[in-house]
Structure 1
């Protein structure tokens, strides 16, 4: 039943989430350890100590400048001590004390003023009944308070016996204890597993998660390191609601597509903005970022969260923060991993004898001579080459990373280096990556802080399988299509080409090993990125910040296709060589002024800034051909040399303001406005203004809210406008270019218009509404977030085709046209299921998305416009995807396949025609929607969308003693995939090797629903029509990763701090109805041509072992 598989998967996910929630209701808690710091300070002011603690932790300080200033300078030398313990050691040297509020606010008070009134004594115990040291006890409504000693004891003088004591400690639920005349009390703490106090990185700053008004998801270092990944995008897969990650084939260069809340543009880029340490990346080369260097990733999803980036934010923002050093002893961490890749799946094809009989039937059905195929003495019929296995092998990976961190309180550092080598599963494919990074933090005096980051990556990628078929390339599809009767080598062991016997030449008979063995397709890539940032505190609470960053990407390609012959047959008689060189430079500078002020219960944070960015690109290409020497692979050795080049640049400037207001942690408001100007648009439309506003209400802070098992309940709503400028430079200008044309018998270089300018081109705009709530229950045992969003993108930047007769070249102009809606829900939940010696945690997320084109324009006659997607070539010559109003972007628009015309339907078949050709029994049958007995474009219909309607993931972590087991699953559903391999190799036309599924083809005595074979004639024309015969359900549930780790106990006093072994596997199994290679990678691709499975390179199953050592 169509869609039943996706429905079952969705039901399984829902039941799992509900079961997990219910399971947590009767489980116990464990102690949450204090945040620890290492400090070595000699004769410094208290102010400086407080600043160091704020820099290294999420704690903030509130104090009277006068009482702190009057204190003498202090000396502090602590290593890996809890913050509250450090405060006790520190303040013993002073006449001051401290109180902890809201888990992360430390209030400094005068001891002398706290000991007045009625004395109260008590003992505070942790969740296990043991004495709790360092717990804050404060008389409510005052700054009168103290902390417990090592025995959990405290003494405090209060105003009267009806006072209320606020008892709080990091990692535990804050309690309010009414004395009611009792001056001796015992309080037991309850552990708080809430993550609402976590500090997250947002645009141009940080914030506590509890203070956010927008839709934000954070992936921690622990999540990233839980399984070795070679690409940061892979670490996002299945872990963040609203984020769809798919690998675009199994290519070694780590190409992923990332979509946040659907596709908001028709045929321009929908990739999110990637910001690394404050510097936006020039493109989506994700593999150039070493995952081992990442400390956290923050995904900004709604308008309120992304608006600070204005014109670049309509597709969402991913902020990557890399690891930085900390004061204290130098730490060295080393990780190494190695493993093997295996092809997940091979296609079943006909045996050579089955293919021979297919030839006989095909020729018989179309009146051809099949005598050649009936000759069983032909040696070709004894060959059964399995090209898929012949051209593949087990791949392997090895990875090594080392990092060193350390420094002093005023100067810390983090340096790292990495090496990654991957041997591909297709022969002669491999990739090597080298990584290096250096981060530094420095404080000059009390007011100036300077930080810097510098990273370099070098990559070498050899992939002859990426060569096009004309030059002997061998994508996996070509391995499937190559005939099994073809011999890879002759009797002397030399590469040969089929057929070398008296057989007709059909399609992909060129030996795929020739291209994989002789071709050179090499890419070298260097990336250098860096940023330097300075923060100067003008006065307390007012900070001036500035940063200057760059991202430079250099890429060169060398492709060499030597001439070669098989016997006396020239396969590639002239040979060719191509050189490509691309340079992208991105410079960005920002200056901001931030003001923070606490006024009693009021908190205000205001940010104002200015940003400037310049991007330049250069492209050079040189082509040569004509050499007959297979060793001469350089351009000067060629007889025919051509070339071209291009340059481009663009600039973006912006000014922005963001104001955040919080009252008593109860009411939160955020307003952001950004004005951007871009050189990509004409003088009249260069500037755009992007405002947003959001509000949140923490109901759980209200006096009337008395639900004890709900610790936090916050409602959020936001609305705003963001922009998109992801188009080529200077699209508003008409451009000229040069290209050769024939003049007599000579190729002459001429100039002409390469594309038509659009002077009124303007910003693509996205209006987005977001409403949601965050809830924490059972003392943090369950944390959940639910969001609803509705995003309407208008004035879409659309590339439209223009007839060549206009004389404006082949570059389609970009215009503003139409609008698109994305609407959906997001649900995420984190649970602590079991706590104690055996621990079990679960995180689950699921997102839905409805994509719909609202308007795409119309022609002069008022007929709604249609934008075509992928054209399936000869002999089909038909489009697979189309985009038009009322349907999703890139929806499948094709014939409905009804099976095969049977013998008793011969009359109706003969009366039904395609291209004026009648059908016969055994031919493919398609739905005649209008009943005119003609199968034509009027009979096409929308039959599905390439875009999933739901997706998500679930991660379970089990730990016992020093063992830990992680299980990550991901799922997606509601989408369709067009299986191109089945269209090419399951039509019953022996142009290619055919898949095994056609073996049961129709005959008069076998009335199956698989069309009869054909070679030429009407049947050949009919059988390969673009129809839903090859359109399949793309839903899947995947076991993405299983990892088992063991931490070897080490002597804490030794230099060795950690030794961890991990055994793991990726992509262990996939539950799906899809018949192709991989439903996850097949669902990737651009919007208007998405959901096509071309299988360029197989996605693998990966088994590996790793070790991590810390000193």
Structure 2
């Protein structure tokens, strides 16, 4: 027995030693790849723990583990793999593409979701698409990338905010800008210019009622949800440094190149009797110049620099992302510059198993100069009217401060003497606390602030030779604070393994306060003494303040049966201080469904079909008018908050304070109402082709319109809920993995939106309503349409222009074939204005392009297009009217004018009325295709990079707006307005950059 016991003890001791050896930590390493090559950023987690790491730029990983533990390898869009740790210290894994892209997106309140389980129609754009763009605003990089989202940049001003609309114009006057949400907190759309796009992880566009109705009264125009970057758990600090330098020029110079040169203008003036031949010859002899004035008023090869640094990582419970950036962009117009500094820190921590907290802080500061000389100003917007024989410099090349003959001041001199600068401080802090008192119940409180302080200064120095010793100064400060506090409770539960439910309830309050203060004075005498109190003349001061509050209660119920059938229902009640006491609250709701048809048994053996999903939704939302603070139209931004209330305004009369009627008030004023039906499907074929199609029908009623009333009441109009507008259309998104191999791929895409807009009801029984001085009208049964006198051409016998007389119903378009004789040569705007049948808003918008790579090189190109877009080209009223603007330069088109009977020409006789009137000839097709971005990048081989201790080195060059294809005769077809006059044109950039990670 002793012998056996002793042997047993030895055996146990031996097994104990073996167990301890085997149970010791060991380091396992390997490479994770896919069909193309190594995968960076793959999560490697020890199953049922929070310990893990991720692969580096070469797909390599290293992790401490124990035999018997299981490593879980996961990556977005790939199937998750598990490997059990054994004796070997090396585990290589090849991940396979998932049939359904399992990208995680945040679409509203509550937990993030996998794209494949989202009932609503959404489009998500990743950070790879957004980054590197030489533009201060992220929306510029989205142009042409999201079907149904129209993005237009109307100005080359570096600080310009693009306009963007989703599925057409949602309201005739209540605002059509989608709600912008940053990490769960609504923000002003102008805030985007103060943020660094390289800090964004993704931008998700929520399109249909199922996705947007949970936002209620602010989501009638869709939602742009921006998620900023976060750190990762158990990840060593990663540092990314990016630097970029760009050169900017005019995007398109065709309009400027199409004016007469010195010889052409002189000959034309002789031909039309403005000069004698001898006078013209002597003029050209004395002034042997042929100045291209756009090259004087717009700078060439101006610079843009951007520098970024970010640090991210995380421990077992806390993740962090910290970044800072500097951007300095010089505008091509004088007095046009933008310099911005940003700082961001995102912290998330799992304090306890049941408690999570997070804090996001975004701080932006920028200084901007805004060129003031657009519209009818010959100091830039109409400077091409200058005669080309004048020169901006003397014979020695020295600049004239005041240009002889032209009589205007050189733009560089004006920049020295006029200061039109502004500075903006943007602060967007937010934080949350989330508790999980028991499994699957999450209670969350989040608070966020959208704050800006904007100060603008306008100074004319006393040394300005146009007003010596009489300088002026004006200064205004605008401050807006929007606080949003949201409380939600979300509970997930299952009934057996097939039925999954998620229920969410919440409360939200939004409180906005705006204050504006300004003052001005004249009579400054010294450039060194520029202060408001030093101007003794014309002193003035003003102050405005405004506020509004929204309070909301909302809920959502989601159901998933066997990961095959998905349903959701949401409801929200909103109350707003903007509306009358009789209609302050409204309730909005939606219902939606998703059917993953590919998971049905009858499609199991259809191998060429990898995914097929059908979705549909119907719901309502509202519009309380634009809640953005628009500093360009600050009076409207303030007034909209009090239009339900009868108010009185103060004035100054005979040295005292008086009162006047302000707003008549409307206690019944309430929300615009919108309903939206959406049906769509998505499919993937042959693991290569992805197709998405969505149809929508969007109806807006009880619109917020200013209805005219009799002037005997003391006011012109009253804000009321009237009228109806519909938008229906289709989004199509098609992409291919056309070529793919071991070290290359080529993937083209195209997306397109067709939108049909129609006004279906107005007010007071009107069939149409012409908006004064815009050339635009609303007509029942038609889209928003241009109403203008319709030019019938130049009569070949008389040389006079002729215009069609309107039908008895001016909203009906004349037929040139039957009404050719129903014309007049007497121009009268009021008598001749009628429907041109030309739409104000383009019905077709979209984009196309491709991404590709070969070994370390990658190439991406993105085109944006707009078809059926029209503009009133008001510049041509000046450039094609030589008998009105005699002596000024003109377009070469004016050479085609009537001289004798029988001539078929563009313009009438010179000795008659205007060459050009405000008629349909100025309404131009501004459709365009623009190469929005092209990016060529090279990743330096990792074996070279590793030698110097770096993780990745990437060189890249970016082109923006390099090509523009259009028949539009004006400065820039992208202007988003009914009229273009003196626009600050878009720019094109060529950029070179370097990105280093370590």
Q: TM-score range by the shorter chain?
A: 0.7 to 0.9
Q: Does 1:330 align with 2:237?
A: yes
Separation in 2, partners of 1:758, 1:575? 45
Q: Does 1:732 align with 2:644?
A: yes
Shift in Å, 1:751:
2.8
Tell me the equivalent position of 2:834.
940
Whether the 8 Å contact between 1:227 and 1:1043 is mirrored in structure 2 is no
Shift in Å, 1:329:
1.0
Give the alignment of 1:495-894 within 5 angstroms: 495=400, 497=402, 500=405, 515-562=414-461, 574-599=470-495, 600-629=497-526, 632-638=529-535, 639-705=537-603, 706-727=605-626, 728-740=640-652, 743=654, 749-778=657-686, 780-800=687-707, 806-808=713-715, 813-836=718-741, 837-858=743-764, 862-868=765-771, 871=773, 879-889=774-784, 891-894=785-788
Whether the 8 Å contact between 2:791 and 2:801 is mirrored in structure 1 is no
Whether the 8 Å contact between 2:428 and 2:449 is mirrored in structure 1 is yes
Tell me the equivalent position of 2:851.
957
Tell me the equivalent position of 2:956.
1062
Q: Does 1:1104 align with 2:986?
A: no
Q: Does 1:478 align with 2:379?
A: no
Tell me: CA distance 1:417–1:377, structure 2 relative to 1, closer, same or farther (3 Å): closer
Shift in Å, 1:36:
2.6
Tell me: CA distance 1:170–1:942, structure 2 relative to 1, closer, same or farther (3 Å): farther
Tell me: CA distance 1:556–1:954, structure 2 relative to 1, closer, same or farther (3 Å): same
What SS does structure 1 have at the residue aligned with 2:962?
Answer: strand
Shift in Å, 1:354:
3.7
Separation in 1, partners of 2:202, 2:674? 27
Give the alignment of 1:11-30 within 5 angstroms: 30=36
Shift in Å, 1:1005:
8.1
Shift in Å, 1:820:
0.9
Whether the 8 Å contact between 1:435 and 1:457 is mirrored in structure 2 is yes
Tell me the equivalent position of 1:253.
159
Tell me the equivalent position of 2:917.
1025
Separation in 2, partners of 1:588, 1:407? 28
RMSD of the TM alignment (CA)?
A: 3.7
Whether the 8 Å contact between 1:839 and 1:958 is mirrored in structure 2 is yes
Separation in 2, partners of 1:790, 1:458? 42
Give the alignment of 1:949-988 within 5 angstroms: 949-988=843-882
Tell me the equivalent position of 1:36.
42
What SS does structure 1 have at the residue aligned with 2:969?
Answer: coil
Shift in Å, 1:1031:
2.0
Q: Find 2:295's aligned residue among 389, 398, 420.
A: 389
What SS does structure 2 have at the residue aligned with 1:849?
Answer: strand
Whether the 8 Å contact between 2:690 and 2:734 is mirrored in structure 1 is yes
Tell me the equivalent position of 2:149.
243
Whether the 8 Å contact between 1:987 and 1:1011 is mirrored in structure 2 is no
Tell me the equivalent position of 1:279.
185
Whether the 8 Å contact between 2:77 and 2:103 is mirrored in structure 1 is no
Tell me: CA distance 1:852–1:370, structure 2 relative to 1, closer, same or farther (3 Å): farther
Shift in Å, 1:385:
3.6
Tell me the equivalent position of 1:1039.
931
Tell me the equivalent position of 1:339.
246
Whether the 8 Å contact between 2:789 and 2:803 is mirrored in structure 1 is no
Separation in 1, partners of 2:854, 2:821? 62
Give the alignment of 1:357-368 within 5 angstroms: 357-359=267-269
Whether the 8 Å contact between 2:450 and 2:482 is mirrored in structure 1 is yes
Separation in 2, partners of 1:996, 1:788? 46
Aligned residues: 922
Whether the 8 Å contact between 2:620 and 2:675 is mirrored in structure 1 is yes
Whether the 8 Å contact between 1:330 and 1:407 is mirrored in structure 2 is yes
Separation in 1, partners of 2:530, 2:805? 53
Separation in 2, partners of 1:377, 1:521? 37
Tell me: CA distance 1:339–1:785, structure 2 relative to 1, closer, same or farther (3 Å): same
Tell me the equivalent position of 1:452.
359
Tell me the equivalent position of 1:919.
none
TM-score, normalising length from structure 2?
0.85
Whether the 8 Å contact between 1:575 and 1:627 is mirrored in structure 2 is yes
Separation in 1, partners of 2:395, 2:325? 46
Whether the 8 Å contact between 1:1040 and 1:1067 is mirrored in structure 2 is yes
Shift in Å, 1:949:
1.3
Shift in Å, 1:654:
0.6
Shift in Å, 1:278:
1.2
Q: Does 1:411 align with 2:318?
A: yes
What SS does structure 1 have at the residue aligned with 2:323?
Answer: strand
Tell me the equivalent position of 1:123.
none
Tell me the equivalent position of 2:15.
none
Whether the 8 Å contact between 1:752 and 1:808 is mirrored in structure 2 is no
Separation in 1, partners of 2:909, 2:375? 25
Whether the 8 Å contact between 1:357 and 1:373 is mirrored in structure 2 is no
Tell me: CA distance 1:549–1:427, structure 2 relative to 1, closer, same or farther (3 Å): same
Tell me: CA distance 1:911–1:880, structure 2 relative to 1, closer, same or farther (3 Å): closer
Tell me: CA distance 1:1009–1:564, structure 2 relative to 1, closer, same or farther (3 Å): farther
Whether the 8 Å contact between 2:735 and 2:748 is mirrored in structure 1 is yes
Shift in Å, 1:315:
0.6
Tell me: CA distance 1:554–1:226, structure 2 relative to 1, closer, same or farther (3 Å): closer
Whether the 8 Å contact between 2:788 and 2:832 is mirrored in structure 1 is no
Shift in Å, 1:708:
1.9
Deviations 1:598-645 (Å, cap 9, x if unpaired)? 331111111111111100100112122234555543221221111211
What SS does structure 1 have at the residue aligned with 2:198?
Answer: helix
Whether the 8 Å contact between 1:575 and 1:626 is mirrored in structure 2 is yes
TM-score, normalising length from structure 1?
0.77
Unaligned runs of 5+ in 1: 1-27, 53-75, 107-132, 136-145, 154-168, 173-190, 872-878, 915-925
Tell me: CA distance 1:913–1:669, structure 2 relative to 1, closer, same or farther (3 Å): closer
Q: Does 1:1007 align with 2:903?
A: yes
What SS does structure 2 have at the residue aligned with 1:598?
Answer: strand
Q: Find 2:336's aligned residue among 389, 406, 429.
A: 429
Shift in Å, 1:775:
0.9
Separation in 2, partners of 1:372, 1:561? 43
Whether the 8 Å contact between 1:437 and 1:453 is mirrored in structure 2 is yes
What SS does structure 2 have at the residue aligned with 1:435?
Answer: strand
Tell me the equivalent position of 2:893.
997
What SS does structure 2 have at the residue aligned with 1:751?
Answer: strand
| Mean Cα deviation higher: 414-423 or 353-362 | 353-362
Tell me: CA distance 1:469–1:227, structure 2 relative to 1, closer, same or farther (3 Å): closer
Whether the 8 Å contact between 2:66 and 2:85 is mirrored in structure 1 is no
Give the alignment of 1:280-359 within 5 angstroms: 280-327=186-233, 328-346=235-253, 347=256, 348-359=258-269
Tell me the equivalent position of 1:234.
140
Shift in Å, 1:867:
4.1
Separation in 1, partners of 2:60, 2:505? 37
Shift in Å, 1:951:
1.4
Separation in 1, partners of 2:182, 2:718? 32
